[in-house]
Amino acid sequence: MIVHVTGGEIPQDEIEQYKARAEKMHPGTETLNISVDGDHVDLEYVVAPTPYERIRRITGYLVGTVERWNDAKREELGDRVKHAAI
């Protein structure tokens, strides 16, 4: 995890505590930006994007892709009436 401290200095043990908090509260944190303003600190967590698979409802089924469908189900998809977006 990359840590940037701006606006002042804080002890290394305090930085380690903020890092532990980031790892616990926001898994996947790549960068921790710590902004020091007197006795106050602001924390900004930059988290790695989480990959996801698109899920759609097609002909009554929740699917990501139609690769594993048989010919009949693919034909049903082709015959489906598509409505224009409003």
pLDDT of the residue at 82: 75
pTM as predicted: 0.57
The answer to whether residue 86 sits within a structural domain is no
- 61-73 as b/e, with b when 16 or more CB fall inside 10 Å? eebeeeeebeeee
Same domain for 56 and 30: no
CA distance 70 to 28: 38
> Average pLDDT per run of 10 along the chain, which is 86 residues long?
93 94 91 93 90 73 78 83 74
Query: Which structural domain range is residue 60 located in?
Result: 51-81
In this prediction, residue 59 carries a pLDDT of 66
Q: Is residue 69 part of a domain?
A: yes
pLDDT value, residue 73: 81
Number of domains the chain contains: 2
